[in-house]
Amino acid sequence: MGAVIVNAARGSLVDDEALIAALRAGRVAAAGLDVYEAEPHVNAGYRTLPNTFLLPHLGTATIETRTRMGMVALDNLDAHFAHRPLLTPVLQ
């Protein structure tokens, strides 16, 4: 049957052009992707392949995770206005 590539971690882990070529040549049987190299843009080459399953990034799509993400944002605002260190600062 062959290898099946599944990537729900980071788009940069997979070289889109190499994977598309491997899928077309039959060196890889199928691919299931939740993240993309140039996210949010999906390489158009994937769209023509019947052995490729594409999803929008769903890694955080649970009520618990989304609730926690919202709480972290509120906790950061609270820390900012109280002049405390932020929980998740954005560094430049």
Among 24, 27, 37, 39, which one carries the catalytic annotation?
A: 39
Question: Cβ neighbours of residue 28 under 8 Å, at least 6 residues apart?
Answer: 2, 3, 4, 5, 19, 22
- Single-letter amino acid, residue 26: G
19 with 49, same domain: the answer is: yes
Q: How do residues 52-71 score in pLDDT, each as one tens digit? A: 999 887 777 789 988 998 99
pLDDT at 33: 94
Q: Is 68 a catalytic residue?
A: no
What residues make up the domain containing 72? 60-92
4 with 47, same domain: the answer is: yes
User: How far is residue 59's CA from residue 76's CA, in Å, rounded to a whole number?
Assistant: 22
Q: How do residues 8-37 score in pLDDT, each as one tens digit? A: 888 889 999 999 999 999 999 999 999 999
Q: With 80 as the cut, is the pLDDT of residue 47 above it?
A: yes
HSE-up (13 A, CA, CB side) for residue 36: 18
Q: Angle 9-15-17 (CA atoms, 0-180°, nearest 5)?
A: 135
Report the candidate in 1, 39, 44 with the shortest Cα–Cα distance to residue 20.
44
Q: How do residues 67-91 score in pLDDT, each as one tens digit? A: 998 999 999 999 999 999 999 988 7
Q: Is 80 a catalytic residue?
A: no
38 with 3, same domain: the answer is: yes
